[in-house]
Amino acid sequence: MFKLFKDIDRKNYRPILGGLDILKFIGPGLLVTVGFIDPGNWASNLAAGAGYGYSLLWMVTLSTIMLIMLQHNVAHLGIATGLCLSEATTIYLKPRFSKFLLTTAMLASISTSLAEILGGAIALEMLFNIPIRAGALLVTIFVLIMLLTNSYKIMEKWIIAFVSVIGLSFLYELSLVNIDWNGAMVGWVTPSFPKGSMLIIMSVMGAVVMPHNLFLHSEIIQSRQWNLEDEKVIKRQLRFEFFDTLFSMLVGWAINSAMILLAAATFFRTKTPVNELQQANHLLVPLLGNNAAVVFAVALLFSGIASTITSGIAAGSIFAGMYKEPYDIKDNHSRVGVAISLVIAFGIILLITNPFQGLIISQMILSVQLPFTIFLQVYLTSSEKVMGKYKNTLFSKITLYFLGIIVTLLNVALLVSLF
């Protein structure tokens, strides 16, 4: 467990009742939010908006609802047991199952890191004409330095600042375009499957509901745990965690929606296909002006750096959990996990010829792995042996398994559409 926060005095501990005390619990959810407003999301959302207008907004809504339920559930695991999802998998599953599942999770983490690093590199190319491979190297080195030298508490403040910049950037972008709000309202709540859209639909889902975020949340939520032996404290943690998760996921929903709205109001309206993020940036100049293009690139850079940081933490947590250890950047297993994810992702980037398509495919890979993580999570959080009296209720268990089935069926539909 994180040991970067001082324990409060247990003898003099008193309940947290003040309204502003809720703000003390904001943080873990926003770190998770960074994971689904990452460059992979940018690619998927811009492709969705440019190709299909407002018609795929429903997928952001559905994915966010699924995300709230899943992230809230996995955070419960961390609070109630003091274990992250990876540790619990290693402890409570047979080795042949745990090793397989955690290996696929590491592969998903590499896919995630690839998208994050690539997005940051694309932003550097937009802003400073730095070649993609050189930019990827700079992003990778910078993030490794950040992870190896900063405590979690400092990192959390950086991430919150990054999310704020990204959100404000898209508010500015939206102020420059005319949105068909009636069409957007219909798109948010009406499922539709336009011809040829299945890959984009799956990539949008894979970009929002991400396997590494489930592992990440179960780990970082423990930074807020004080005195797990006190049931009142645990219940308070669970209650405030839900507020943090709900608030943070809604922030992510708004930013993801803003990406699709921007693309729909500019590229779809002018019937301009978008095949790469650089192209989107250049196309914004004649449509919205130079400032819009610069703001777009700066937001993408912050998104790439912030999400690469959280992807690295998730990989460290997954790998350390294989050895029944919590994430601790001072520990070799956590460091190796971080290095595996970031360095291998950078190596793959050196071989990629189409960065934008690479972003889309990376998100599809995440959606394919996602059912494994969901069913694993629900199995553990429904087990009395693991969770004790905090195990899932029958209703929660059925609902979560139903979500897993939906994800699986969408994956089958994707494979059918491809072949």
Summary mean pLDDT of the chain: 80
Q: Residue 131: what pLDDT?
A: 93
Q: Tell whether 2 is covered by a domain.
A: no
Average pLDDT over residues 184-205: 85
Out of 9-23, 107-121, 124-138, 367-381, least confident range:
9-23
pLDDT at 368 over 60: yes
Distance from C-alpha of 7 to C-alpha of 227, rounded to nearest angstrom: 8
Identify the CATH number of the domain in which residue 350 sits: 1.20.1740.10
pLDDT at 242 over 90: no
Quickly state the pLDDT bin for 340 (edges 50, 70, 90). Answer: very high
Q: Tell whether 157 is covered by a domain.
A: yes
Domain around 292: 22-418
Gyration radius of the chain's alpha carbons: 20
pTM of this structure: 0.80
373/18: higher pLDDT: 373
pLDDT tens, position by position, 9-26: 333 334 444 444 554 555
Q: Residue 61: what pLDDT?
A: 92
- Number of domains comprising the chain: 1
pLDDT tens, position by position, 70-106: 988 998 898 888 899 999 999 999 999 999 999 999 9
Q: Tell whether 8 is covered by a domain.
A: no
Q: Tell whether 364 is covered by a domain.
A: yes
pLDDT at 136 over 50: yes
Q: Tell whether 129 is covered by a domain.
A: yes
409/380: higher pLDDT: 380
Q: Kindly report the CA angle at 341 between 148 and 379, in degrees rounded to 5?
A: 110
pLDDT at 323 over 80: yes
Q: Tell whether 324 is covered by a domain.
A: yes
Alpha-carbon dihedral 245, 106, 372, 396, rounded to 10 degrees: -20
Q: Tell whether 273 is covered by a domain.
A: yes
Q: Tell whether 312 is covered by a domain.
A: yes
Neighbours of 18 (CB within 10 A): 9
Written as one string, the DSSP assignment of 216-285 is HHHHHGGGG---TT-HHHHHHHHHHHHHHHHHHHHHHHHHHHHHHHHHIIIIITTT----SHHHHHHHHH
Out of 40-54, 67-81, 251-265, 338-352, least confident range:
40-54
pLDDT at 322 over 90: yes
